[in-house]
Amino acid sequence: MRKEHKPLFVLRFLARCNQFYVERFLRPQFDHLGAKPAVAKPRTVQVFGHNIQAGNFLHLISSKQQPVRLTTWSGRNQQGRISIGDYCLIAPGVVINSAVAITLGNNCMLATDVMIADSDWHGIYNRVRPYKCDGEVVLGNNVWVGLRSIIGKGVHIGDNSIIGAGSVVTKSIPANCIAAGNPAKVVKQLDPSKRMVTREYLFNPEVRLGKNIRDYDNNQQQLDEFMFAQNSFSGWLRATLKPTKND
């Protein structure tokens, strides 16, 4: 089916069930998880290890086929850490593995199948001794990492920079630029004087439209009512059991 046929009351019930799962089962897996996380298919999110924390309005889009995976590894005198800022978006299939420290600033966006690791996990010559080839990874504020990019150990990416799809980032990238390729290199400079609209704009009513505007939850509710209020239970059953080309 190409349309959402579930009636509004069913969508709201499923959303409440989803949020219950996030609060009851997913939140305890983080050392800290900020306010109002939005998680698609939270049962598929995989969180392993300690020292994993995320800020407010985290948006995780996970799926059975492309789960989001956050992993920290511990070893002798070493413990990985993952720190994710406010208003970040993490798309399906993103994998973040830390043996030292990986930090994402506020408003970062990681596209589908992005991989970030702060370690090579094994040495060039001694391949049975882990955690000796590592370096902290830092993404500044408002960094956008494109589809299927790989970010390796020791990389720092400056504020507002964009990593092109399919890039392999082995060296640090400065702020306010676009980098792409394998290995990734700067291909364009951004104008830092231009106003940068970040994901915070979506969630902060004072930033968006002034203090008298309703908060994000109410606006989302109004949007759902506009889009799905006409959906009926009988129409949902009909589209499920006997779909047509118009569904």
Burial of residue 203 (CB within 10 Å: 0-12, 13-18, 19+) is: buried
Q: How many CB atoms lie within 10 A of CB 216?
A: 16
| Spatial separation of the C-alpha atoms in residues 65 and 72, rounded to whole Å | 22
Residue 122 bears catalytic tag:
yes
Task: Report the C-alpha gap between 133 and 114 in whole angstroms.
Answer: 21
Q: How far apart are CA 98 and CA 119, in angstroms?
A: 7
Would you say 89 and 111 are in contact if contact means Cβ atoms under 8 Å apart?
Answer: no
Query: Residue 20 corresponds to which amino acid?
Result: F
Which of the following is catalytic: 32, 50, 122, 156?
122
Helices (H), ranges, the chain: 8-21, 200-203, 205-208, 216-228, 233-241
Pair 159, 175: CB distance under 8 Å = yes
Give the Cα separation of 107 and 9 in Å (integer): 32
Q: Which long-range contacts (CB under 8 A, 24 or more apart) does 233-237 make?
A: 233/7, 233/10, 235/5, 235/7, 236/5, 236/6, 236/7, 236/10
Residues with a catalytic annotation lie at 122
